[in-house]
Structure 1
Amino acid sequence: MSSMIQTIDSVLVPTDGSDSALAGAKRGIDLAAAVDAELHALSVVDTTDIENVPSILDSDATADDQAALEDAAEEAVEAVVATAQERAPDLEVTTAVERGTPFRRIDDYVDTAEIDVIAMGTKGRTGLKRVVLGSVTENVLRTVDVPVLAVPPAAVDGSLTPENTENVLLPTDGSEGAAAAVDWGVHLADVFDAMVHALYSADTSRLTMGTEPSTILSELEQTGETALEAVRERARASGVSVTGTVANGPPARVILDYADDKAVDLIVIGTHGRSGLERHLLGSVTENAVRGADVPVVCVPMAEYEADIEE
């Protein structure tokens, strides 16, 4: 397995002023403080909201609506600054308010400001149910080339600090896509002085008819042991404690059950693995893990990893 040393110099916190966005911001602040990175707070005035105002309204009303949205965006970034001053007074914070389609502006900002990690809540102002990702977060996860620390509504309380982060869950399928997540998982475990829990799911639910189940399970378990050994080697090289488990069952359920059983504080997972999905698809395992998790999930895109290897 190829590996590379990760560095986090800048963390982006997109915000719409909602409680969910602030929950994401708190974890982003914690992470930036832990690695001494610069924090960026970005609020995007969604121009589709303005464009959807009926044309029969006079221009003054439209201008008022636009001004109100821009004021709300300014308040949202200032709330992040205030939270940062409380949690990490020495943190350097850069704020920005932009106009456009939120996920596109976030993607552009990542490129121009050379952002290393994004931290955001999985539910925005739209008030979607917990089991549904917020549309902005979902689009960000599908388009950006950097890891996204996704913070679910259930993880509003707590913090991402060395004192409170003891167990990092690192699901792996042994693929090149998983290799990127392994590097990030080990690095974050090193940052927080936590233990890595490497986990491979031998999913027998997809057995082909006519195939001897015991033979398939044996092959899956062997693949799993190989995948876990790659994680162990990477962790040992960084001086990080590691434990490995081959479990049996549908991957997303195995991940969520393990996270509950072992009091996991953080999950680090690739946005797609062996299934060979296109870059802009999360992959059902990752998507279900993010939707069902009670703890923050770092989603690591394969595209970012491939670009670094090619350079």
Structure 2
Amino acid sequence: MSRFIESILIPTDGSDGALAGAKRGIALASWTDATLHVLSVVESRISAADLDELERPPLEEKATEAVEEIAELAAKHDDDLVVTTSVREGTPFQSIREYANRREIDVIAMGTKGRTGLDRALLGSVTENVLRTARTPVLAVPPNAVETEIDDAPFARLLLPTDGSDGAAIATEWGIALAARLGSSVHTLYSIDTSPLVDTRERDELLAALEQRGEEAIDAVRERGEEADVSVSGSIVTDSPVVEITSYATDHDVDLIVMGTHGLTGIGQWFLGSVTENVVRQAEVPVFCVPVSAESP
């Protein structure tokens, strides 16, 4: 397969959450022969009062130490990796997005929890804003993944939720391409949430229609898998998508969830679908979020 991921951006603030994202990003770069970019952003909107509370060394030195730590970690794991480091001043999520756009980054890998200028843990608002506005896939990594060594970072079992939408279609392209490159198996999941329906007859009629739609969506993923020689299994479930996706991932030892983000706002910026956002918040495994603006791999 062609080298469909050529560059990966790892933002870092020196926190454990950022380290978790970095480990998965380094592992993915090693698997795909991608170059690594490590970026730390010094917050430019910190008040004078906040600055008095910050410890020394200065923020710029902390940022430099943060990127050097990740660069050294990458070199120890794979000395063939090409790593570029950068420290910038600005609003973190905007600087991350702009760096990714200007350098034509293929994937952003980052932790779901980081720190503010005052070392407060936060889904980190930075990660959430990157997910909402990025035009490339974002590998969102929960903080518990920091305990996994890079050599042991698993990619064997991928979960690919689908709802048959355009967003799910581009996520399918990326999920199958990842599985083909990483040698992973894929399970696709179509969730039907009938909880808002009270009328039994209405519920039964809608359920039948949605099950048919679900079978078609799962078949589409299977067909794409067959074209790429990737094993795909599928199932239809009837509960909240967030509950089903996170529960399936936990119960079946899924290593990575691959799913799409959805739609456009009135001002033309991509926004994060509520299902995807809540899966990222609740999942115990990394989530590879693919915006509908992403190019096919």
**TM superposition score normalised by structure 2:** 0.91
Question: How far has the Cα of 1:240 moved from its partner?
Answer: 0.6
- Which of these residues, 247, 254, 268, is aligned with residue 257 of structure 1? 247
1:196 matched residue in structure 2: 186
Equivalent position amino acid for 1:8 in 2: I
2:59 matched residue in structure 1: 69
1:267 matched residue in structure 2: 257
Work out whether 1:106 is the aligned partner of 2:96.
yes
1:168 matched residue in structure 2: 158
1:220 matched residue in structure 2: 210
- Which of these residues, 279, 296, 300, is aligned with residue 286 of structure 2? 296
Question: How far has the Cα of 1:162 moved from its partner?
Answer: 9.0
Equivalent position amino acid for 2:75 in 1: Q
- Asked whether the 8 Å contact 1:15–1:41 carries over to 2, the reply is yes
Describe the shift of the 1:36–1:98 C-alpha distance in structure 2 as closer, same or farther (beyond 3 A).
same
Describe the shift of the 1:236–1:113 C-alpha distance in structure 2 as closer, same or farther (beyond 3 A).
same
Equivalent position amino acid for 1:158 in 2: T
Describe the shift of the 1:286–1:159 C-alpha distance in structure 2 as closer, same or farther (beyond 3 A).
farther
Question: How far has the Cα of 1:164 moved from its partner?
Answer: 2.8
Residue 140 of structure 2 aligns to a residue whose secondary structure is strand
How many residue pairs were aligned? 291
1:38 matched residue in structure 2: 35
Describe the shift of the 1:223–1:128 C-alpha distance in structure 2 as closer, same or farther (beyond 3 A).
farther
Work out whether 1:12 is the aligned partner of 2:9.
yes
Q: Distance in 2 between matches of 1:159 and 1:219?
A: 45
- Which of these residues, 48, 52, 57, is aligned with residue 53 of structure 1? 48
- RMSD of aligned residue pairs (Cα, Å): 2.6
Equivalent position amino acid for 1:73 in 2: A
- Per-residue deviation, residues 5-33 of structure 1 (Å, max 9, x unmatched): 88100000000011110110111111111
Question: How far has the Cα of 1:190 moved from its partner?
Answer: 1.3
2:132 matched residue in structure 1: 142
- Which of these residues, 20, 23, 46, is aligned with residue 23 of structure 1? 20
Equivalent position amino acid for 2:183 in 1: D
- Which of these residues, 230, 235, 250, is aligned with residue 240 of structure 1? 230
Question: How far has the Cα of 1:187 moved from its partner?
Answer: 1.0
Q: Distance in 2 between matches of 1:156 and 1:245?
A: 31
Residue 58 of structure 2 aligns to a residue whose secondary structure is helix
- Per-residue deviation, residues 94-122 of structure 1 (Å, max 9, x unmatched): 00111111111111101111100000000
Describe the shift of the 1:254–1:166 C-alpha distance in structure 2 as closer, same or farther (beyond 3 A).
same
- Which of these residues, 95, 98, 103, is aligned with residue 85 of structure 2? 95
Question: How far has the Cα of 1:159 moved from its partner?
Answer: 5.4
**TM superposition score normalised by structure 1:** 0.87
Residue 105 of structure 2 aligns to a residue whose secondary structure is coil
1:152 matched residue in structure 2: 142
- Asked whether the 8 Å contact 2:77–2:151 carries over to 1, the reply is no
- Per-residue deviation, residues 49-84 of structure 1 (Å, max 9, x unmatched): 2xx1159x9xxx89x989701000100000011110
Q: Distance in 2 between matches of 1:160 and 1:186?
A: 23
Q: Distance in 2 between matches of 1:155 and 1:163?
A: 9
Work out whether 1:183 is the aligned partner of 2:158.
no
- Asked whether the 8 Å contact 1:161–1:192 carries over to 2, the reply is no
Describe the shift of the 1:298–1:160 C-alpha distance in structure 2 as closer, same or farther (beyond 3 A).
farther
Question: How far has the Cα of 1:267 moved from its partner?
Answer: 0.3
Equivalent position amino acid for 2:11 in 1: P
Question: How far has the Cα of 1:211 moved from its partner?
Answer: 4.9
Unaligned runs of 5+ in 2: none
Residue 223 of structure 2 aligns to a residue whose secondary structure is helix
Equivalent position amino acid for 2:38 in 1: A
Q: Distance in 2 between matches of 1:269 and 1:128?
A: 29
Residue 86 of structure 2 aligns to a residue whose secondary structure is strand
Residue 204 of structure 1 aligns to a residue whose secondary structure is coil
Runs of 4+ in 1 over 6 A off after TM superposition: 64-67, 160-163
Question: How far has the Cα of 1:86 moved from its partner?
Answer: 1.7
Unaligned runs of 5+ in 1: none
